[in-house]
Amino acid sequence: MKAKVTEIASDVYRISTFHPEYRIQFNQFLIKDDEPFMMHTGFKKMFPITLAGVATIIDPAKLRWIGFSHFESDECGALNELLEVAPRAQAVCSIVGAMVTVNDFADRPPRALNDNEVLEIGSRRLRFLATPHVPHAWDAGLFFEETERTFLCSDLFFHPADPEPLIESGVVDRARESMMAAVTSPLAKEMPYTPYTESTFQRLAALEPQTLALMHGSSFHGDGRQAILDLANVVKETFGTGSIT
Ligand SMILES: [Fe+2]
Ligand SMILES: [Fe+2]
Protein backbone atom coordinates (compact mmCIF):
# COMPACT_ATOMS: atom_id res chain seq x y z
CA MET A 1 0.00 0.00 0.00
CA LYS A 2 1.15 3.51 -0.81
CA ALA A 3 -0.48 6.87 -0.20
CA LYS A 4 -1.35 8.99 -3.21
CA VAL A 5 -1.20 12.74 -2.56
CA THR A 6 -3.29 15.26 -4.51
CA GLU A 7 -3.82 18.99 -3.92
CA ILE A 8 -7.63 19.26 -4.21
CA ALA A 9 -7.85 22.98 -3.37
CA SER A 10 -5.16 25.57 -2.70
CA ASP A 11 -3.00 24.17 0.13
CA VAL A 12 -5.55 21.43 0.85
CA TYR A 13 -3.98 18.02 0.23
CA ARG A 14 -5.71 14.67 0.00
CA ILE A 15 -3.61 11.71 1.20
CA SER A 16 -5.33 8.61 -0.10
CA THR A 17 -4.54 4.96 0.54
CA PHE A 18 -6.54 2.16 -1.03
CA HIS A 19 -6.86 -0.81 1.31
CA PRO A 20 -6.97 -4.03 -0.72
CA GLU A 21 -8.94 -6.00 1.88
CA TYR A 22 -11.55 -3.39 2.72
CA ARG A 23 -11.65 -2.43 -0.99
CA ILE A 24 -12.08 1.22 -0.05
CA GLN A 25 -9.90 4.30 0.22
CA PHE A 26 -8.88 5.82 3.53
CA ASN A 27 -8.31 9.51 2.92
CA GLN A 28 -6.71 12.07 5.18
CA PHE A 29 -6.63 15.80 4.43
CA LEU A 30 -3.80 18.14 5.29
CA ILE A 31 -4.26 21.91 5.27
CA LYS A 32 -0.94 23.69 4.96
CA ASP A 33 -0.71 26.91 6.99
CA ASP A 34 1.31 28.34 9.90
CA GLU A 35 -0.23 25.65 12.09
CA PRO A 36 -0.82 22.68 9.78
CA PHE A 37 -4.09 20.85 10.34
CA MET A 38 -4.78 17.24 9.44
CA MET A 39 -8.25 15.68 9.22
CA HIS A 40 -8.28 11.96 10.18
CA THR A 41 -5.19 9.97 11.14
CA GLY A 42 -6.07 6.72 9.37
CA PHE A 43 -5.67 3.33 11.02
CA LYS A 44 -2.86 2.76 13.49
CA LYS A 45 -1.72 -0.18 11.35
CA MET A 46 -1.50 2.04 8.28
CA PHE A 47 0.44 4.77 10.08
CA PRO A 48 3.81 4.36 8.26
CA ILE A 49 2.00 4.74 4.92
CA THR A 50 0.04 7.80 6.06
CA LEU A 51 3.16 9.36 7.56
CA ALA A 52 5.07 8.91 4.30
CA GLY A 53 2.24 10.74 2.55
CA VAL A 54 2.33 13.62 5.05
CA ALA A 55 6.11 13.87 4.64
CA THR A 56 5.73 14.63 0.93
CA ILE A 57 3.83 17.82 1.92
CA ILE A 58 5.32 19.07 5.20
CA ASP A 59 7.79 18.00 7.85
CA PRO A 60 5.45 15.82 9.98
CA ALA A 61 7.04 17.23 13.15
CA LYS A 62 5.47 20.61 12.25
CA LEU A 63 1.92 19.28 12.40
CA ARG A 64 -0.08 21.31 14.95
CA TRP A 65 -3.72 20.14 14.85
CA ILE A 66 -5.26 16.71 14.34
CA GLY A 67 -8.99 16.83 13.71
CA PHE A 68 -11.49 14.04 13.23
CA SER A 69 -15.22 13.51 13.30
CA HIS A 70 -15.87 10.68 15.73
CA PHE A 71 -13.94 8.05 17.63
CA GLU A 72 -13.27 5.18 15.22
CA SER A 73 -9.96 3.70 14.14
CA ASP A 74 -9.96 5.15 10.63
CA GLU A 75 -10.72 8.59 12.11
CA CYS A 76 -8.13 8.64 14.89
CA GLY A 77 -6.55 5.20 15.37
CA ALA A 78 -3.04 6.57 14.75
CA LEU A 79 -3.54 9.65 16.96
CA ASN A 80 -0.89 8.72 19.53
CA GLU A 81 1.61 7.73 16.83
CA LEU A 82 1.15 11.18 15.26
CA LEU A 83 1.42 12.93 18.64
CA GLU A 84 4.75 11.19 19.09
CA VAL A 85 6.27 12.36 15.80
CA ALA A 86 4.76 15.87 16.09
CA PRO A 87 5.62 17.24 19.54
CA ARG A 88 3.43 20.37 19.21
CA ALA A 89 0.44 18.54 17.80
CA GLN A 90 -2.86 18.34 19.62
CA ALA A 91 -6.13 16.61 18.83
CA VAL A 92 -9.19 18.79 18.23
CA CYS A 93 -12.60 17.19 18.63
CA SER A 94 -16.06 17.70 20.04
CA ILE A 95 -16.68 18.27 23.74
CA VAL A 96 -18.45 14.90 23.88
CA GLY A 97 -15.51 13.24 22.10
CA ALA A 98 -13.02 14.69 24.57
CA MET A 99 -15.07 13.84 27.66
CA VAL A 100 -16.13 10.37 26.63
CA THR A 101 -12.99 9.05 24.94
CA VAL A 102 -10.18 11.29 23.80
CA ASN A 103 -9.17 12.77 27.19
CA ASP A 104 -8.41 9.22 28.24
CA PHE A 105 -7.15 7.79 24.95
CA ALA A 106 -4.81 10.55 23.78
CA ASP A 107 -1.28 10.72 25.14
CA ARG A 108 -1.63 14.54 25.31
CA PRO A 109 -4.83 16.37 26.21
CA PRO A 110 -7.03 17.29 23.24
CA ARG A 111 -8.57 20.69 22.63
CA ALA A 112 -12.34 20.33 22.81
CA LEU A 113 -14.28 22.64 20.50
CA ASN A 114 -17.71 24.11 21.08
CA ASP A 115 -20.29 23.91 18.35
CA ASN A 116 -19.56 26.67 15.80
CA GLU A 117 -16.19 27.50 17.35
CA VAL A 118 -13.50 28.70 14.94
CA LEU A 119 -9.98 27.29 15.00
CA GLU A 120 -7.47 29.70 13.45
CA ILE A 121 -4.45 27.95 11.96
CA GLY A 122 -2.72 30.97 10.39
CA SER A 123 -4.39 32.57 7.41
CA ARG A 124 -7.09 29.88 7.40
CA ARG A 125 -10.07 29.47 9.69
CA LEU A 126 -11.69 26.15 10.41
CA ARG A 127 -15.24 26.21 11.71
CA PHE A 128 -16.21 23.24 13.85
CA LEU A 129 -19.77 22.00 13.79
CA ALA A 130 -20.99 19.56 16.39
CA THR A 131 -23.17 17.12 14.43
CA PRO A 132 -24.25 14.31 16.80
CA HIS A 133 -25.12 11.12 14.83
CA VAL A 134 -24.17 12.70 11.47
CA PRO A 135 -22.54 10.80 9.85
CA HIS A 136 -22.86 8.60 12.96
CA ALA A 137 -21.83 8.46 16.62
CA TRP A 138 -22.78 10.67 19.54
CA ASP A 139 -19.46 12.53 19.49
CA ALA A 140 -19.56 13.39 15.77
CA GLY A 141 -18.47 16.77 14.48
CA LEU A 142 -17.26 18.14 11.14
CA PHE A 143 -14.89 20.89 10.04
CA PHE A 144 -15.38 23.58 7.39
CA GLU A 145 -12.38 25.47 6.00
CA GLU A 146 -13.69 28.92 5.19
CA THR A 147 -11.17 30.34 2.68
CA GLU A 148 -11.31 27.61 0.05
CA ARG A 149 -14.76 26.57 1.30
CA THR A 150 -13.65 22.99 1.78
CA PHE A 151 -15.97 20.84 3.86
CA LEU A 152 -14.19 17.99 5.61
CA CYS A 153 -17.16 15.66 5.68
CA SER A 154 -15.80 12.38 7.10
CA ASP A 155 -18.00 9.41 6.12
CA LEU A 156 -20.71 11.45 4.37
CA PHE A 157 -20.96 10.58 0.64
CA PHE A 158 -19.10 7.28 1.25
CA HIS A 159 -18.38 5.28 -1.88
CA PRO A 160 -16.08 2.27 -2.30
CA ALA A 161 -13.22 1.15 -4.58
CA ASP A 162 -10.26 3.28 -5.61
CA PRO A 163 -11.74 6.14 -7.64
CA GLU A 164 -10.08 9.31 -8.93
CA PRO A 165 -9.03 12.00 -6.42
CA LEU A 166 -11.48 14.70 -7.52
CA ILE A 167 -14.74 14.66 -9.47
CA GLU A 168 -17.11 17.41 -10.55
CA SER A 169 -20.33 15.41 -10.87
CA GLY A 170 -22.01 12.24 -9.67
CA VAL A 171 -20.98 12.23 -6.01
CA VAL A 172 -24.56 11.84 -4.73
CA ASP A 173 -25.30 9.04 -7.22
CA ARG A 174 -22.25 7.17 -5.98
CA ALA A 175 -23.30 7.68 -2.34
CA ARG A 176 -26.84 6.48 -3.11
CA GLU A 177 -25.56 3.38 -4.90
CA SER A 178 -23.26 2.56 -1.98
CA MET A 179 -26.08 2.90 0.55
CA MET A 180 -28.38 0.69 -1.53
CA ALA A 181 -25.65 -1.92 -1.99
CA ALA A 182 -25.04 -2.00 1.76
CA VAL A 183 -28.61 -2.53 2.97
CA THR A 184 -28.10 -6.25 3.43
CA SER A 185 -24.62 -6.03 4.90
CA PRO A 186 -23.67 -5.93 8.61
CA LEU A 187 -22.71 -2.26 8.08
CA ALA A 188 -26.18 -1.26 6.86
CA LYS A 189 -27.38 0.73 9.83
CA GLU A 190 -24.57 3.23 10.12
CA MET A 191 -26.71 6.36 10.42
CA PRO A 192 -29.51 6.69 12.96
CA TYR A 193 -32.20 9.01 11.62
CA THR A 194 -32.96 11.32 14.52
CA PRO A 195 -35.35 14.28 15.06
CA TYR A 196 -32.43 16.59 14.20
CA THR A 197 -30.89 14.79 11.20
CA GLU A 198 -32.71 16.95 8.67
CA SER A 199 -31.85 20.24 10.39
CA THR A 200 -28.20 19.15 10.66
CA PHE A 201 -28.04 18.59 6.89
CA GLN A 202 -29.74 21.98 6.32
CA ARG A 203 -27.11 23.60 8.46
CA LEU A 204 -24.27 21.89 6.58
CA ALA A 205 -25.75 22.87 3.20
CA ALA A 206 -25.91 26.51 4.32
CA LEU A 207 -22.11 26.51 4.51
CA GLU A 208 -22.15 26.45 0.68
CA PRO A 209 -18.97 24.40 0.29
CA GLN A 210 -17.10 24.40 -3.02
CA THR A 211 -15.22 21.20 -2.27
CA LEU A 212 -16.34 18.14 -0.34
CA ALA A 213 -13.40 16.22 1.14
CA LEU A 214 -14.57 12.62 1.64
CA MET A 215 -12.87 10.09 3.86
CA HIS A 216 -13.88 7.24 1.54
CA GLY A 217 -14.10 8.01 -2.17
CA SER A 218 -13.42 10.85 -4.57
CA SER A 219 -13.51 14.43 -3.37
CA PHE A 220 -16.06 16.60 -5.14
CA HIS A 221 -15.68 20.10 -6.53
CA GLY A 222 -18.88 21.98 -7.38
CA ASP A 223 -22.15 22.98 -5.77
CA GLY A 224 -21.66 21.53 -2.31
CA ARG A 225 -24.90 23.02 -1.02
CA GLN A 226 -26.99 21.13 -3.58
CA ALA A 227 -25.01 17.92 -3.10
CA ILE A 228 -25.64 18.00 0.66
CA LEU A 229 -29.38 18.69 0.18
CA ASP A 230 -29.57 15.82 -2.31
CA LEU A 231 -27.70 13.53 0.07
CA ALA A 232 -30.12 14.53 2.85
CA ASN A 233 -32.97 13.26 0.68
CA VAL A 234 -31.20 9.96 0.01
CA VAL A 235 -30.52 9.55 3.72
CA LYS A 236 -34.15 10.27 4.55
CA GLU A 237 -35.35 7.72 1.99
CA THR A 238 -32.89 5.13 3.23
CA PHE A 239 -32.81 5.61 6.99
CA GLY A 240 -35.80 7.81 7.78
CA THR A 241 -38.59 5.55 6.58
CA GLY A 242 -37.97 2.46 8.67
CA SER A 243 -37.50 0.43 5.48
CA ILE A 244 -34.28 -1.16 6.75
CA THR A 245 -35.24 -3.81 9.26
FE1 LIG B 1 -17.28 6.48 10.81
FE1 LIG C 1 -14.67 6.32 7.90
CA 216 / ligand 2 centre spacing (Å): 6
Dihedral, CA of residue 39, residue 139, residue 186 and residue 166, to nearest 10: -30
What is the pTM assigned to this prediction? 0.97
Q: How far, in Å, CA of 86 to CA of 90, rounded?
A: 9
**Exposure class string for 50-86: b at 16+ Cβ within 10 A, else e:** bbebbeebbebeebbbbbbbbbbebbbbbbbbbbebb
CA 187 / ligand 2 centre spacing (Å): 12
Ligand that comes closest to the CA of residue 71: 1
Residue type, 60: P
Confidence of residue 244 (pLDDT cuts 50, 70, 90): low
Q: Any idea what DSSP says for residue 110?
A: P
CA 173 / ligand 1 centre spacing (Å): 20
Q: Percentage of the chain surpassing pLDDT 90?
A: 92
Q: How far, in Å, CA of 116 to CA of 114, rounded?
A: 6
Q: How far, in Å, CA of 75 to CA of 67, rounded?
A: 9
pLDDT in tens, 42-95: 999 999 999 999 999 999 999 999 999 999 999 999 999 999 999 999 999 999
